Structure 1
Amino acid sequence: MPQPFRRIALTAWPIAQKAPLDLAGVAAWLRGHRFEVALDETAARMAGEPEGLPREEAIRGADLVIVFGGDGSMLRTAHILGEGGPALLGINTGHLGFMADVPVSELMPALDRILARGEFTIEPRMRLRPCALRDGRRLPLHDVLNDVVLTSGPLARMVEFAIEVDGRGLGAFRGDGLILATPTGSTAYSLSAGGPLVMPDLGVILINPICPHTLSHRPIVVAGDSRIEVRFSPDPEVEGRHALLTLDGHPGCELLPDDRLEVVRSPDPVRLVRPAGADFFQVLRDKLVWETHPRGGESRPDPVRRGPRGGGPA
């Protein structure tokens, strides 16, 4: 594959400062391979370089951003990109790392495969575009890579949501909130709330109630080109109630009782760079510690590092 990257930005988030990283060596390797390199302030400090750039400035004009951090770091970087931004390569210095899935221990071999030998794929990851509708006005909000979350606010009270998909009523339910997630977001909050895992190349939207008060309410997956509209009704016993909107884990806005939330597919996906041969099922097996054969079978997977009692990652 022809090399599409010439200017590379290195951005390091606070969680990366605890990892055994040689950013000076990474920057030297990239420059030795004739890439233009820009470091943000944190990355420059870790690399021992005299001065870095503000993160937005380092990213501006880059063809590829190498993100040192976790999935949260990837989400924050994606928020900075804007429309038509550079591709992202995530180096995992955090916890699970579904998006930042290149381990630090494999950093240099991965860079050699991707940047020196051109052995990589670029995965377009769908984003959602939310918009609040208030008094006839549209209040645009930033695109999300993982999820749009509506909750009842800081107090643990139920709220009622009514949902329409393409103008057709899906239903109303009472519960703690609602998650609208992308396939990428299916491994995040939605997964914890009982939602399905979805392959990232599927263009669909997950609608997942949070702790619904009726057991028959289940997550549902709708087409990616659907227009989803949500209205909420506050608890009539509580004066001045509102719903809180959270976008990829960051504050969005408050929704008042007469407001509506509209969510559609964004025309601007995020492009993730993956080493050639990267396998979503392998990522799930590694991160969620799944077996590949029934217990007692002759063939067993390679040992996975587990916690002291074998119940999860160490």
Structure 2
Amino acid sequence: MDLSGHRVAVVGADRGIPGTVRRLGGSVVEPANADLVVAVDEAGFRRAALAAPETPLLAVTTGDVHYATSVDDAAAAIEAVLTGDRTLVDHPIVGVTVDGERVGRVLLEVTLLTSEPARISEYGVATDGTTLQTFRADAVTVATPAGSAGYARAAGGPVVRPNAGLAVVPVASFTTHADTLVLPGPVTLSVERDDEPVSIVVDGDDRGTVPTHAPIVVRTIDHVTVVSPAPRVD
């Protein structure tokens, strides 16, 4: 392997990747000056993606994530994508507003959940002004394709392909009639009834409580390009 002349940025945990890049002749630089940004683990991927890079991201992780390369294969993947043997896929970034006020940019998931454990609330899901369902549950989460393999999947949701839509997943629903949905967006959530305060959590960060009946709108506002080695054809 030879990375001579190539500039690589590494965002997130080290995992030995900067040393590997240098050993193979490449330079480790800041993301703004890189030919490739390697985003390591979920935190690194989120930080790199939300910085709106112009350079494609190579996601590397120790876990089983459908859009990422394993740490063990990172060196070969870096060489492959830098030499043009690669595929590019756009992943959506969504914006979230609560009653018209912007909450933030989200790469993975938005979750409404009761602030007190073991308490349930009633949630509504709508799109294009049409209410699709209401249900009582511990929580409801809206996951992007990149986030659909995480908390949403653990709650029974599907893994969604890029550009297929947003997964809306009731969590521990109190009824058997609450459906998991995949919608193109925008998606509007609401708290229809709350016995306890309901918090909004975006990409793992608690952003405070939301008022009853306030529209929580989740819509695609941007994309990040994720690069991976091209599939091998035997």
Global fold match (TM > 0.5): yes
The 5-angstrom pairing of residues 208-223 of structure 1 reads 208-222=169-183
Q: What is the SS of the residue equivalent to 1:174?
A: strand
Residue in 2 that maps onto 1:66:
38
Give the Å deviation of 1:278: 7.0
The 5-angstrom pairing of residues 25-64 of structure 1 reads 25-31=20-26, 37-38=28-29, 58-64=30-36
User: Do structure 1's residue 88 and structure 2's residue 42 form an aligned pair?
Assistant: no
Instruction: Please give the alpha-carbon distance, in whole angstroms, between the structure 2 residues aligned to 1:248 and 1:30.
Output: 36
Unaligned 5+ residue runs, structure 1?
Answer: 39-57, 280-314
Q: Deviation per CA, 1:251-296: give whole Å up to 9, x if none.
A: 2332122532111122x111111001179xxxxxxxxxxxxxxxxx
Give the Å deviation of 1:91: 2.4
Which of 186, 190, 205 pairs up with 1:250? 205
Instruction: Please give the alpha-carbon distance, in whole angstroms, between the structure 1 residues aligned to 2:10 and 2:152.
Output: 30
Residue in 2 that maps onto 1:310:
none
Residue in 2 that maps onto 1:197:
159
Instruction: Please give the alpha-carbon distance, in whole angstroms, between the structure 2 residues aligned to 1:278 and 1:108.
Output: 16
Count of aligned positions: 229
Task: Answer whether contact 2:6 2:35 (CA < 8 A) is retained.
Answer: yes
Task: Answer whether contact 2:11 2:44 (CA < 8 A) is retained.
Answer: no
Instruction: Please give the alpha-carbon distance, in whole angstroms, between the structure 2 residues aligned to 1:173 and 1:181.
Output: 18
Q: Deviation per CA, 1:20-79: give whole Å up to 9, x if none.
A: x26334135353xxxx631xxxxxxxxxxxxxxxxxxx33454531123x2343123323
Instruction: Please give the alpha-carbon distance, in whole angstroms, between the structure 2 residues aligned to 1:143 and 1:25.
Output: 32
Task: Answer whether contact 1:152 1:242 (CA < 8 A) is retained.
Answer: yes
- Cα 1:164/1:22, change in 2 over 3 Å: closer
Q: Deviation per CA, 1:158-205: give whole Å up to 9, x if none.
A: 0111222100111211110111112222211111111122223x3312
Task: Answer whether contact 2:10 2:39 (CA < 8 A) is retained.
Answer: yes
Query: Quick check: which one's strand share is greater?
Result: 2
Instruction: Please give the alpha-carbon distance, in whole angstroms, between the structure 1 residues aligned to 2:142 and 2:25.
Output: 39
Which of 94, 118, 126 pairs up with 1:128? 94
Residue in 1 that maps onto 2:223:
269
Give TM-score, length-normalised by structure 1: 0.66
Give the Å deviation of 1:220: 1.3
Residue in 1 that maps onto 2:81:
114
Tell me which amino acid in the other structure corresponds to 1:119. Answer: D
Residue in 2 that maps onto 1:164:
126
The 5-angstrom pairing of residues 217-236 of structure 1 reads 217-222=178-183, 224=184, 226-236=185-195
Task: Answer whether contact 2:194 2:212 (CA < 8 A) is retained.
Answer: no
Tell me which amino acid in the other structure corresponds to 2:37. Answer: V
Q: Deviation per CA, 1:213-260: give whole Å up to 9, x if none.
A: 1112120112x2x32222213434xxxx42111112222332122532
- Cα 1:6/1:269, change in 2 over 3 Å: farther
Q: What is the SS of the residue equivalent to 1:73?
A: helix
User: Which structure has the larger Rg?
Assistant: 1
Q: Which has the higher contact order (CA 8 A, sep 6+)?
A: 2
Task: Answer whether contact 1:145 1:270 (CA < 8 A) is retained.
Answer: no
Residue in 2 that maps onto 1:98:
66
Residue in 2 that maps onto 1:291:
none
Query: Quick check: which one's helix share is greater?
Result: 1
Supply the RMSD in Å over aligned alpha carbons.
2.5
